Amino acid sequence: MIKGYIFDYGGTLDTAGCHWGQMLWHAYQRQNVPVGEQQFRDAYIHGERMLGREPLIRPDYTFHKTLAIKIRLEMEWLCTSGAWNAFEEDFNNKRDAVLRDLYEQVKTTTAYSGKVLKELASMYPMVLVSNFYGNINVVLREFGLDRYFQDVVESTTVGIRKPDARIFSLGAERLGLKPEEIMVVGDSFYKDVEPAIKIGCHAAWFKGEGWNKKTYDESLPDIVITDLAQLLEKNDRYLNRN
């Protein structure tokens, strides 16, 4: 029997399974930022590496501020690399347009996720396990999701990053449950599903638009979902088969 849940955050609760690189690229397209997809991908990788190396995100930063920094890093790289010859006014206008576009999407998605989490939290204890920048608790409060988790395990705080399975072991400890009593929900097959199963947890893969076209063994997770609300279906075949 499933007695508790561990949730991923980024790509799971805020984008409905869509990789953040794809979320950003689609916003660039909608806002007519004049760069190609490979140029954007290079900029995205540069930005993520910068955020990994430099303490640019403070613990008190909201998601809105975090997203603004990510977009600025990407667009600055596009300009300095010669991929985009933007004047300052155009740069600022496109940056602000992409930020507004994405933030509105995230507000809508997290509001929907909150409805599902509220119902699950009335039945099960839940913990969040996330690779993040040290400000995940601020972000959860920003979107009203903090009330649904009895604890949070954040990579920056505990010094362990997915796909290291030990971070899920910490989540299990915070729940006070055995791994076989826990369902882990995440969008990343490599960072969520595989390490969760490695320590004996059940796993629900939130399958959305990935960063690449890699295929995975979909028989490995207990359930594959394309909508978070599918977790609410009382299906003995998946959730209570033990």
CATH fold of the domain at 4-18+110-232: Rossmann fold (3.40.50)
Name the pTM for this structure.
0.93
Cα angle: 171, vertex 8, 57; to 5 degrees: 100
Q: How confident is the model at residue 1 (pLDDT cuts 50, 70, 90)?
A: confident
Tell me the average pLDDT across 153-182: 97
The per-residue pLDDT for range 29-59, each reduced to its tens digit, is 999 999 999 999 999 999 999 998 999 999 9
The per-residue pLDDT for range 136-149, each reduced to its tens digit, is 999 999 999 999 99
Task: Look at residue 40 in the predicted model and tell me its pLDDT.
Answer: 98
Contact 129, 170 (CB under 8 A): yes
Domain spans, the chain: 4-18+110-232, 20-107
The per-residue pLDDT for range 76-103, each reduced to its tens digit, is 999 999 999 999 999 999 999 999 999 9
Tell me the average pLDDT across 115-134: 97
Q: Residue 152: enclosing H or E segment and its boundaries?
A: strand 151-154
Task: Look at residue 234 in the predicted model and tell me its pLDDT.
Answer: 55
Contact 84, 93 (CB under 8 A): no
Tell me the average pLDDT across 155-166: 97
